[in-house]
Structure 1
């Protein structure tokens, strides 16, 4: 009877005690969150209740398993399994706690600063810091798990002796991966590109959606995702429209007839912009920038607060201006000139013009013979 009750009491008591401690800790965190609603730290710490309870349960079972006298033949295996669970749960809990602390710091910074560029920079750095912390904790936990096996401890000396050669081989094999890793750190702390920035890469316009230590994702205007290695942004030029401020100036080109009413177009451009909510009211202009034998090029300059609004202003101005020209000044739109050419005045009785005209009349006369 004792052989049955002892394991039940030990295992059952451990599970019940773990649930009680976990419940009490969650209640305390919930009360702290209600008392301090200005910080999300306590609510974020509640996300770690699962690894927290796993750590408690594994630690209690690891310490009291010998008293249960259950599976005596497999005591070493069960003890090692509990140790592995304890190490893994502890690593999980450390990552959750670090994430809560870092996220709380970022939230406070975002509330205190209203500069969107600086907030995006800190957000990028925070996300990459969390990835580095998770990677370091994961590597350390895996190493601790491996060291629990006696065979791995015995092989430690030989592995340490060959660490230099393995490091060289690994460095050569993972050259591109290491380059992306250091490029990711350079982007995070060099403030080259941030999450939320509007960029143009390889002719594609989009917004930076995600930055990791090895790749960067750009979300285009048509909801596509372009994934690129972060080393691209440290080795090749690219356009960052959010760098130094989000305000932008847009250009709209019109190819019109030479008789187009430029002054009336300036007035209508001002009226169109006043009715466009996306225009920030900073500036506008319209001028003739080029001319060809058939058309002239008219350029309209408009401004907006960011890349999304500048796109809206440009398409609105283009659409309304063309519609207004088609309704009020249709002659200003480009057209194919089919009018007869005007001959130049006669250069003289013996000049080339009269000679050319005589030859033309000779060819127009009907032929009467075969020769």
Structure 2
């Protein structure tokens, strides 16, 4: 068969190739239609077939089409001179399409699991942990697939395979040089993986970093994105969270305890202040109903330091609750207990002359 094709003229070779390719394209179309029908039938009872079809439809079709091109070119070669180059080109495209298909399949399974842990609807520690780990695993697997695809493409070239043998022979020196050159990059990479599985921080956690508090929005293999409370974005390397102390307000749960301090005069009625705090908390939904209290924590400088303690379900509600309590208590002191306003007292004494009171000052 090959000898006959080789001895045929170019028109016959192209005709034979076209016939084989047409047959294979028909097979590809039939397979694509069958797969689409099967997913459509399954989609009547489940939601995942539609998502699977959306993600894998085009990479699956492109992969089948490239297989058809390769098979038709091998079975019915167009020309002896440049058939090797054509097949090589199609093989490179096939490696890319297979990588594309594998990545889409992986993302489909990952997103299917992520929908069970939607932190916007189910805001708990386990959901945030799974979301964080999925973000890191997603990037790690995609990066690994790309690296393997690039390596597979390079290994299709004879010169690269020969180079690979010499590189392996000097792998010891190369690994040392590469390790020194990429020390910071690899450090961030390992730190990103460590953050994903040691649960020091998770997506959605509220942290205090560099004097700023905000919410963790994204954790990558090299950096962490934090949304600061005033809508600024703070980007930090992953190694920061493995080498620098920081506060995680939601490590053990989202319920938080906050304080508000007042410097008041000694004449303030603390019991009345407690009653006013009860009235304020009863009128707001920001308080979670778990903890409240007022205590005199210091008495120096002519004033009493009064600490108000309240609790809330999360950091955002706690901030608003502290602001509300501060405003309401300050207004209550001005309106109902003005004697509690801080005042500076000056004691004026009559001067003495030779141990006696100066008559001129009387």
Q: TM-score, normalised by structure 2?
A: 0.86
Look up the match of 1:348.
none
Preserved CA contact (<8 Å) 1:41 1:100: no
- Summarize the Cα distance change of 1:236–1:360 in structure 2 as closer, same or farther, 3 Å threshold: farther
Q: Structure 2 matches for 1:263-342, cutoff 5 A? A: 263-335=271-343, 341-342=347-348
Could you give the per-residue CA deviations for residues 259-307 of structure 1, whole angstroms, max 9, x where no partner exists?
3332221111110011110100112111222233343221100011111
**Counterparts in 2 of 1:187 and 1:18: CA distance versus 1, 3 Å:** same
CA contact (8 A) 1:30 1:43 kept: no
Work out the number of aligned pairs and report it.
350
Q: Does 1:36 align with 2:46?
A: yes
Tell me, which stretches of 5 or more residues in structure 1 are unaligned?
Answer: 345-351, 365-371
* Alpha-carbon separation, structure 1, partners of 2:39 and 2:359: 102
Match of residue 50, structure 1, among 58, 66, 80: 58
* Superposed displacement of residue 121, structure 1: 0.9
Deviations 1:25-50, CA, capped at 9 Å, x for gaps: 2332232232234xx36624531212
In structure 1, the residue matched to 2:5 is: none
Is 2:361 aligned against 1:355?
no
The partner residue of 2:159 within 151, 157, 171 is: 151
Following superposition, the deviation at residue 15 of structure 1 comes to 5.1
Q: For residues 357 and 171 of structure 1, do their structure 2 counterparts lie closer, same or farther at Cα, with a shift above 3 Å needed? A: farther
Of 79, 85, 90, which residue of structure 1 is paired with 2:93? 85
Distance change (3 Å), C-alpha of 1:74 and 1:180: same
Quick check: 323-332 or 84-93, which moved more?
323-332
Distance 1:115 1:271, change over 3 A: same
For 1:138, the equivalent position in structure 2 comes to 146
- The residue number in structure 1 matching 2:197 is 189
After alignment, is 124-133 or 212-221 more displaced? 124-133
Where does 1:173-188 land on structure 2 (aligned, <5 Å)? 173-188=181-196
Gaps of 5+ in 2: 1-10
CA distance in 2 between counterparts of 1:2 and 1:35 reads: 51
Tell me the TM-score normalised to structure 1 length. 0.84
Which residue number in structure 1 is paired with residue 35 of structure 2? Answer: 25
Contact 2:17–2:72 (CA under 8 A) maintained in structure 1 = no
- Superposed displacement of residue 328, structure 1: 2.7
> Within the alignment, does 1:249 sit opposite 2:249 as a pair?
no
Change (3 A) 1:44 1:240: farther
